[in-house]
Each structure stands twice: as C-alpha cells, then as structure tokens.
Structure 1
Amino acid sequence: MKVSGWTTRVLETPDVNPLIVGVDQPGTREFVTLELDTDDGLQGIGITFFGAALTPALRTAVDNLCELTVGEDPLQVEAVTDKLWLAAGGAGPEGIFTLAISAIDIALWDIKGKALDQTVCSLLGGHRDRVVTYASGALGRPMTIEYLAEAGPRLVEQGFRQMKTQMGAEPTARREVARIRTLREAIGPDIDLMCDINQLWDVNQAITIGSRVEEYQLFWLEDVVVRDDYQGLARVADALTTPIAAGEYVYGIRPFRHMLEQRSIDIVMVDLLRVGGFTQFRKVAGMAEAFNLPVVSHLIPEMQVHSIAAIPNGLTVEYMPWTLRLYEETPAIEDGQIVVPDKPGLGLAFDRDALERYQVG
C-alpha cells in the first residue's frame, strides 16, 4: 500500500460553543482539513489550525509536505514523518511546519488503524476504552460572576464531573479570587474545577493569587506564566500545593524534557498539533510516565480521546467542541467520560455537507 494523493481544504466555521448558553458568540474559526488517499482505497483524515491570516499558508505547508509522502508506505508512520522532518525540519519545530506535519501524522495513524482493523487508541497502547472528560470554554473570562454561578451547575446537570474556568483578566487579586469562590460554592466540593491563566500572570502574581485560591481545591492551575519560563514555572510549582499544568503552547517534544527535568509542572498538557501528532505525543507520554506525572490533552477531543485513553498515565480529555461540527459522528459522552469509537482508525468521517458549507479555500 502506498500514499497516492491528498485533498486539503480551508474551512471557516462559526465560533460557537454549545456549552455556552444565553451569551452572544460572534466570530469564526479557521481549520485546514486533510484527506490522505492510498492506492488500496483507504483514506485517512487529519486536521490542523491556528486561525486568522496565515491559515492559507498553513494549507500550503500541508500540501507541500503531502507531496513528499506520495509513494510512501503509510503504515511506516515514523519513517514517513522522519522524511518530512529531514526535508523541511529547518523551518521548525515551532510554527507552521509542525502544525502541518501533525495533520499528516494524524492521517497516517488513521490509515494504519483502518488497514489493521484497530482503533488508533489500540495502536497507541489501548489502556482503556474511555476516559474522563472536562467541560471547557464555557466559563471564560468574559463571563460575569452571576453567569458563572448559573453555568457551573448547568454543566453538572449535563453530566460533567470536571470543568475549567479562567482567571487573568480581573484588575485586582480580590476579584480573581471571587470568581473561583463563586464557582466552587455553586458546583460544590465534589466537582473537579480547573483554572487556566493562559500565560497572563508573572511568577509573583501566580504565587500570590494561587495561594489565595488554594482553599477552593483547584484540580490544577494552567499556564500560569509565559510558556518558556521553565524556572518561573518551577518556582510556582514549588510554592503551591495546587498542581501546575502546562505544555499546550510548546512545539515538539524537547521543551517537555526541560519542563520535566526542572520540575516545572505537575501535570503534562499536550497539544496534538503543536507536538507533532500521535507519533510525538506518545514520546512525551513516555517521558511523563518516567517522571510519574499524568498527561492531559488540549483541544480536538474527537482525536485526543485516542491518545489519552491509550496510555496508563492519561488523566482527562479537554472537551472543547470547536471541531465537532465537522464530522458525521463524534465520540459519545457517557457519565462524564468520553468513549473511544469502536470503529477502525480514528472512527471519524468528515461530514460532506459541513465541508461544503464551511469551505472557503
């Protein structure tokens, strides 16, 4: 079996999160989709994105790299991706190159699963067939405290046992703390509550405000300082009892080595597109396991369910439903857990009507 061709598209979808109720959600999100074909008739799918003005350039990068895969054996995933790294790795690891190669890597694993009649989860290790998932994007900074008090219990009613909010936009520490206190009082003590800072604090803010919210038993504090301040992250992690999660903003596998060696984090968060796809994800997961640390996912839950469920140190999947409208069917949510599809490969198929509706390039 050989790779025989490919199709890419640029899609622009409404930026609407169905977990948000009663709040206007303007704007759009852009995605690059990939369908990678073989001469045996099997097709693998992939996706990548970072949005905005450079999305056409990202599509071009995917096209250029796909051209290099034609004639290659798609089952030899490491060999194919290594060829792409040798051909264009000087353009990375950060930025468009890694985002482009990730779409191809994902599609190759999808083909391999279909060829071997196995799920990608099974190929990656197959530790279990479902994993806890948490509601994300519904409790953000733009939301008022009054909204948070209503939205948190609503997510619990929908079956979520974990959810994530944000801090980092309030003018005072007191008001930041008030948001966490309000949510904790609304959802009770038995629901896991995470909080994302998105790199908006410095080290002193992280320690000061982080200390003040420790009584509310956060499941983790995420990306509290700028992504490559490994020493600063280590200072925060050492000062707080609340676990520190980070990793979604870094590219490739090497930054994770630095974070782990410097004890910068307690929870390893991996973005499948920035790390380089499933091939590189499993290397990070192995490093994390060697340091006795859990791994969590960032975005695209329909694919990350495979990666997190596959490994023994997979902790939870972020349920951010940005991309779910693009598929005919998406993984089921049962009792607060996301279920690995029982179909070969990713168990996903692009919805042709959605592709036609949202295609802009």
Structure 2
Amino acid sequence: MNKSVDAIVQVETYIISIPREVPYLGPLKDGERVNERGYLIRKGNRTIYPSTDMTLLIKVTGESGHVGWGECYGIVAPEATKAIIDDILGPVIIGRDPGDAVVIHEDLYDLMRVRGFFGGYYVDALAGVDIALWDLAGKNLGVSISTLLGGRRHSTIPAYVSGLPRATLQERCDLAVEWVAKGYRGIKFAAVVSDEGIVQEMLALREAVGPDIDLMVDLHWKFESSEAIRLIRRLEASNLYFAEAPCQPEDLEGQTKVARNIGVPLALGEEWRTVYEYRPRLEARCMGVIQPEIGHTGITEFIQIGRMAQTFHINTIPHASISVGIFMAASLVTSSALQRVPYHEYQHSVFDRNLAFTKGGMGCARGHYTVPTGLGLGVEPADALFDFVVAEGRSSAR
C-alpha cells in the first residue's frame, strides 16, 4: 500500500461539556439566567451561549490504526452536528483516503447543496470532519499540516487578549493592565457587556493601558450602519485598532457603507463558513480584516479564504471561540502558512484552562502563540478530556 493511502474505517463523535465557574463573556447581568438546558441569552446582543465549554470532537480512524482528530463548532445543540456526522458524513467517507481531504470536502459539500444546506450546522459538521482528515493525512505522511499546505511562515503568532470577563468597568481596566504586564500588546473588549457605555469603556481602557496597546472592540452586530459609523468615529479618537461586527451578518450593504465611512479597519467573518460567503464581501471591499473561525470552516475552506484575502491585500486575524484545543491547533497550524497574520484571537478564559485536556506543543505566553510542530495538527486530546463526554439524551442543565 502507498504510504499516503490509509482507508477510513471508522468515524466517531463525542459531545464535550466542561463546566466553568463564570459563563463565557463574564458574570450574568440582571434578567439573564441559565435555563434548564444549560444555556443563557445575553441581553446585550440577543445571542444564546452555553454555561459550559461545549464542543463536538471527531475521531477518524484509518485501517493502519492511525487516528485523526477534528473539532467543530458545538456551542449550542451539538446533538445536531453530531447527528449529521453520524448519519450522513461518517458513513459516506468510509473507505476513502484521508489524503484526499480537499476532494472529500468538496464531495461532502455537494451532498446537500441542492437542498440549501450551504451553511449552518451542516457545514460546521464538514469542518470537524475536514480537520480530522487533514490531521490523519499529516500523520500518515509524517509531516505537519503546514507542510501539506505549502510550508510554514510563522513559528509563533501574536495573540490579542479577547474579552475582559469582569463585572465592572474598573475591574475590566485592571484586568487589561494585568495582561499588558504579561506582555500582550492587543486587547479586545465586548460591547455586549459595556454597561457604562461603549465610548466610556474605550476611553477608560485607553487611559489604563496607555497609547501603545492595540485596542479593539467587538460590536456584536448591534447597530444599523449609520449608528455604527457615528460610534466608530468616536472610538477612533482613542486610537481604535479595529471595529468588529457592527451590523447584522447578512447586511452586506450596511457592512460596505460602514467600511467606506470609517478610518479604521472593519473586521468581519467569524460567522461565515465558505469562500462563497467571503467573496462578495471582498469584492465589495467591506472589510480590512477577515476573521475566519476554523470551527466553522475547517482547514480546506480556511486556507482558501485566507489566500483569497491575500489577493485583496487584506489581513487575516482568525477568530477563536469555545474549543477544547483541537480546532485551535488547526487554526494556528493553518494560519502559520499564510502571509498576512498580524494577530490571532486569544480566548484566555477558555484556552488556558483547556490546555490541560490536550497534549502537544501548543501554548500562549508573553503575547504570542506557539504553533504546534508535531505531525498533523501536532496536538491530540488527553485522556482526561473524555471524562467530560456527554451521554446521549442529555435533558437537563449541566
């Protein structure tokens, strides 16, 4: 058998739910509560979040016994993504060669495109399978995924601190100062929890961290385009680095209007999954920074999106969501093959704690990520992670 051929014999999925003391984005506000399924709705952006670190892990085994690991976006209703893989994608790829990861991704996308499933849970499921196939292919060939993608440009990637999960503005400013003291040069705050006002938070943070730190804001799709322009112009006076997601994701015209009427880069893209969603926005020049989330895109789409952005001379600053570390490793390894990556998001309240559940050469310290160097992803789940596998049929808050 050729070294690159290792027929897939099994595809398995695991819902992971790791408890946390403080919910994602910080303490609950008045009127917010955790419901019987373990979810909460943030009033500031009307978006639902889990009260735990919840995700979907994918294991693909080849006939050689080698294993590829993937992970996809499983923050809410992970049973949906799991069912898509268990019932549709997994059985279809049995017998395929993981070295054909790009071809398999295209074939799986074709399965449901005529039914309108070119986004959402279906493409999230593709992302997890795709990451696992690339991981298995790299292991079979004895190389890192970055080598399969054409080569590694970066052994480290600057990290910006994402979120200041404290209850008051003063506490958030104090936390920002702590991160600066640790060597981090970029910090993003979340408008959804800026109860004292977004401009006031920006002014307070700038005064706290000084003039040389890159400050960013996530506006969480809260504004109509003209409202967003007025707000961002006020934030520019405090030397804003970028403004993220001011308008609703489907509002291409609004995004373009904002981008053309502000003096800082507009950052978009965490919710888009394919080159087909990115292309019209790149053509419209409605952003200066793209933020692909590899838990939505997988490696195949992520690298195509990043290279397409390079042709428009646009920077890639990847998004990072709740992850046990597998798709974070995929994001870092894939980003290492791109040219224009000034930062990668660092979800410190998730990443640092969940490093205990992975093994491999990945970390974040003194303002930089260390890109894994091992075979495939260079990272695998630790045995301790499987203590947090959720039994099927969960029916109550975790």
What TM-score, normalized by structure 2, do the two folds share?
0.83
Determine if the alignment matches structure 1 residue 318 to structure 2 residue 342. Answer: no
Deviations 1:144-185 (A, max 9, x none): 21112201011112222211112256578xx32110011111
**Match 1:5 to one of 4, 10, 23:** 10
Per-residue deviation, 1:106:
0.3
Equivalent residue in structure 2 for 1:122, among 123, 147, 153: 147
Q: Is the 8 A contact 1:237 1:264 kept in 2?
A: yes
Aligned residues: 354
1:155 aligned to which of 179, 184, 202 = 179
- For residue 57 of structure 1, give the secondary structure of its aligned residue in structure 2: helix
The within-5 A match list for 1:133-144 is 133-137=159-163, 139=164, 143-144=167-168
Q: How far off its partner does 1:197 sit?
A: 0.7
1:264 aligned residue (260, 280, 286): 286
C-alpha contact (below 8 Å) 2:17/2:53 kept by paired residues: yes
Distance 1:124 1:207 in 2: 38
Is 2:179 the counterpart of 1:179? no
How many Å separate the matches in 2 of 1:157 and 1:62?
44
TM-superposed CA distance for 1:334, in Å, is 4.1
Residue of structure 1 aligned with 2:84, choices 42, 47, 61: 61
Deviation track 1:80-132 (CA, whole Å, cap 9, x = no partner) reads: 11221222333521111100010010001111111222212232231221111
Q: Which moved more, 1:287-296 or 1:27-36?
A: 27-36
Shift in CA distance, 60/19, structure 1 to aligned 2, threshold 3 Å = closer
Equivalents in 2 of 1:354, 1:193: separation in Å? 34
Q: Is the 8 A contact 2:217 2:242 kept in 1?
A: yes
Per-residue deviation, 1:294: 0.7
Counterpart position of 2:376: 345
What letter matches 2:371 in structure 1? Answer: V
In structure 2, the CA distance between the partners of 1:77 and 1:92, relative to structure 1 (3 Å rule), is same
**TM-score normalised per structure 1:** 0.91
Alignment partners' CA distance in 2, 1:115 and 1:248: 31
SS at structure 1 position matched to 2:201: helix
Alignment of 1:20-35 (within 5 A): 27-35=51-59
In structure 2, do the counterparts of structure 1 residues 242 and 163 end up closer, same or farther at CA, with 3 Å as the change threshold?
same
> What SS class does the counterpart of residue 112 from structure 2 fall into?
helix
2-structure distance, mates of 1:336, 1:197: 24
**1:190 maps onto 2:212 in alignment:** yes
- State the Cα deviation string for residues 265-305 of structure 1 (Å, max 9, x = none): 01111111323x11111111121111111111111533211
In 2 relative to 1, CA 144–332 (structure 1 residues): closer, same or farther, beyond 3 Å? same
**Contact 2:270–2:291 (CA under 8 A) maintained in structure 1:** yes
Q: Secondary structure at the match of 1:310?
A: coil
Give the structure 2 partner of residue 82 of structure 1. 106
Do 2:361 and 2:374's aligned partners in 1 also have CA atoms closer than 8 Å?
A: no
| Cα distance in 2 between the residues matched to 1:69 and 1:132 | 37
| Aligned equivalents of 1:133, 1:349: Cα separation in 2 | 22
Alignment root-mean-square deviation, CA = 2.4
Asked if the contact 1:2/1:71 (under 8 Å) is kept, the reply is yes
**2:185 pairs with 1:164:** no
Unmatched tracts of structure 2, length 5 or more: 1-5, 35-50, 321-326, 393-398
Distance 2:24 2:369 in 1: 16
Change (3 A) 1:158 1:18: farther
| Identity across the alignment (%) | 24
